Amino acid sequence: MSTKSRKKSSKSSPGKTSGGHSSAAANTKGGTSRRSAATKSAKKSIKKASSGLSHKAAAKPLKSEAVKTTTPKSTTPPSKPGMADSLALAQGAKAPGFRLPRDGGSIVSLSDFAGQKLVIFFYPKANTPGCTKEAIDFTRLSGDFAESGTAVLGVSADPEKAQAAFRDKHKLSVPLISDEKHEMLGAYGVWGEKSLYGRTFLGIVRTTVLIDASGRIARIWRNVRVDGHADAVLEAARTL
């Protein structure tokens, strides 16, 4: 190659290099622009999505507070144990049946006294002063009751052994029935609310029932006062 040709070739080389650099710069600028546009578009999408979530969160309804309802209190007083049965037990009504153990362990039932008059005195507790006097009075008049064709029974919630000890201690001749489960006491309406010295409690309300020979209630004495009571019951039995 001649010296002139080499010089010409040498002069044309920078132009090619400059063109290559221009093309690369253009490509770089274009890529940057596209990335910038993509970044802006992504930011807009994120902002829009975030805005949508915030609107949805704001639109979500608040949980309503539970409304408390109060049931009005009943003005009707609760029934007392034995009260309903007491109202049902009235003169002329059929005497409620029973089958319970007595002092000594034998069983006594209402059917044992069919065809004869029967006095049942319900007392609160064996070996207490009032109950002891009442049981002694009925024992004292037991012969007179027998002459009038009337049997006599005493009933309390004391266990059989306590009834037997009560009988032996005071030489009582009337059978003493043990109703620990309050079955007979409830049926005759004598188990209920009592008060003593300002204290209220459940127990036996001292009561006496006279049953005629046909098995019906002839007379009821409630809240008995012991003095002279057995004599009054004997007079009523004689009139039947």
Residues 135/174, Cβ–Cβ less than 8 Å? yes
Query: Token pair for residue 236?
Result: 């009523």
User: What are the backbone dihedrals phi and psi of residue 131, each rounded to the nearest 5 degrees, phi first?
Assistant: -70, -35
Question: Which letter, b or e, does each residue of 103-127 get, where b requires 16 or more Cβ atoms within 10 Å of its Cβ?
Answer: beeeebebeebeeebbbbbbbbebe
Please tell me the distance from the alpha carbon of residue 27 to that of residue 21, in angstroms, as a whole number: 10
Pick the catalytic residue: 118, 131, 230, 233?
131
Catalytic status, residue 131: yes
Residues 185/155, Cβ–Cβ less than 8 Å? yes
Query: Token pair for residue 201?
Result: 């409690």
Catalytic positions are 131
